[in-house]
Amino acid sequence: MNINGIGDLIPKTIEPAKKMGVENSGFGATLTDFIKDVNQSQLDSSNMVQDFVSGKGVELHEVMIAGEKAKTNVELLMEIRNKAVDMFKELTRIQI
């Protein structure tokens, strides 16, 4: 009877991604990119409010949509932070 290692059971999806030039950036890089996107949505919202107040042809519904998008992004970022802190606390509790 021939016994194979578990390496044969793992899908080979990582190797084609490397061949295509896709990098595994990791959680830190993904989180950094998301924080940059949240910051950009906040800046876009602020700029849109300034454009609306100064009368540059921005409609009120566009301002509201940009504001809600920025608010939702911040709320999502805060939830991700809360879950990461909870995960860290749980991991430190398990290791003790």
3-state SS class at 69: helix
Predicted confidence band of residue 1 (pLDDT cuts 50, 70, 90): low
3-state SS class at 47: helix
- Rounded to two decimals, the pTM is 0.67
Q: Kindly list the domain boundaries of the chain, sorted by start residue.
A: 23-95
Q: What pLDDT sits at residue 27? A: 80
Span 13-45, pLDDT tens digits: 455 555 555 565 788 888 899 999 999 999 999
Span 40-78, pLDDT tens digits: 999 999 999 999 999 999 999 999 999 999 999 999 999
Helix axes 60-95, 26-53, angle to 10 degrees: 150
Q: Among the residues of the chain, which ranges form H helices?
A: 14-19, 26-53, 60-95
CA 74 to CA 62: how far, in whole Å?
18
Contact 49, 63 (CB under 8 A): yes
